[in-house]
Amino acid sequence: MPVDGAREVSFREHFADRSPSRTITRPVIDEAPVAVEINGIGYAVMMATPTDLEDYALGFCLSEQLIASPAEFLSAHAAPVEAGGWMLRVQLAASGAAPLLERARLRLAEGSCGLCGIESLEQVMRPLSPVTARLEVAPDAMFRATSALREHQVLGRATGAAHAAALCTPDGMIVLVREDVGRHNALDKLLGAAARAGLDASAHFVLLTARCSFELVQKAVIAGVPLLVTISAASTLAVEQAAAHGLGLVTLARKDSLLQS
């Protein structure tokens, strides 16, 4: 069955036990350049999986602090372009777009990079308001979400190459999932989808399949997420910045153990 965000590709499969090789076809995740145009100005080019791009547009604008609330996000339209890739045209209210569009940039950002177009160390470490929401989440709830995540990873199960970001209730129920070839994109898609659905990020925790880097912590803090749980380990800067901004952080969350900072 076709999977949205993937294409069938043929491979020659070889075996260590010297069994006869064979030709197989399997889904491969889509990765394409997505040009983000905001109010008619080229802002960034991201490498992403071209699914849920309207969700991505809203989440990206919130994470970039181009807008203070979803109310300033007017519309988004995604379309493939003949030269290859996608054009994502976003319209923001003038009050939200004007201050930061002055530093509009057109840079190529890999899917593994969450700081595209940042031009100085000061911009990387920009001051952020701390997370004020508090959420009581027992370890059992985190284990419940971690164990259930794979069944929600349609693209990940099919390709073995997609990151997933999940919005979870305090008791560990997964209510929303978005996937992408890039972990930062997956989180932006999730935050945008949650905002479009009217879900309060401060009343949920986020579970990510990725390692925990500083940029993911930054996005969670900006969104007001009280707890970030990641399947893989964290960097020192991620741990330090989470603590400095009141973000609960749990890493190496597996089915049988987890690390709480």
Q: Please provide the CATH number assigned to the domain covering 139-260.
A: 3.40.140.10
Q: Are 67 and 73 in contact (CB under 8 A)?
A: yes
Hey, do 32-123 and 139-260 end up sharing a CATH topology, with the first three levels equal?
no
* pLDDT of amino acid 159: 98
- The one-letter amino acid at 102: E
Closest to 167 (Cα-Cα) out of 145, 137, 135: 145
* pLDDT of amino acid 257: 98
Residue 207 CA to residue 230 CA, distance in Å, equals 6
Q: Annotated catalytic residue: which of 113, 116, 168, 212?
A: 113
Sign of CA dihedral 143, 183, 238, 103: negative
Residue 10 CA to residue 26 CA, distance in Å, equals 7
Strands 163-168 and 205-208: antiparallel
Tell me whether residue 113 is one of the annotated catalytic residues.
Answer: yes
* pLDDT of amino acid 2: 80
* pLDDT of amino acid 83: 86
Closest to 104 (Cα-Cα) out of 39, 41, 57, 40: 41
pLDDT per residue as tens, the chain (261 positions)? 789 999 999 999 999 999 999 999 999 999 999 999 999 988 899 999 999 999 999 999 999 999 999 999 999 999 999 989 999 999 999 876 665 556 554 444 555 555 555 555 556 677 899 999 999 999 999 999 999 999 999 999 999 999 999 999 999 999 999 999 999 999 999 999 999 999 999 999 999 999 999 999 999 999 999 999 999 999 999 999 999 999 999 999 998 999 999
* pLDDT of amino acid 173: 99
* pLDDT of amino acid 259: 98
CATH topology of domain 32-123: Ubiquitin-like (UB roll) (3.10.20)
What is the model's pTM?
Answer: 0.92
Q: Are 249 and 223 in contact (CB under 8 A)?
A: no
* pLDDT of amino acid 99: 56
What are the residue boundaries of the structural domains of the chain, listed by start? 32-123, 139-260
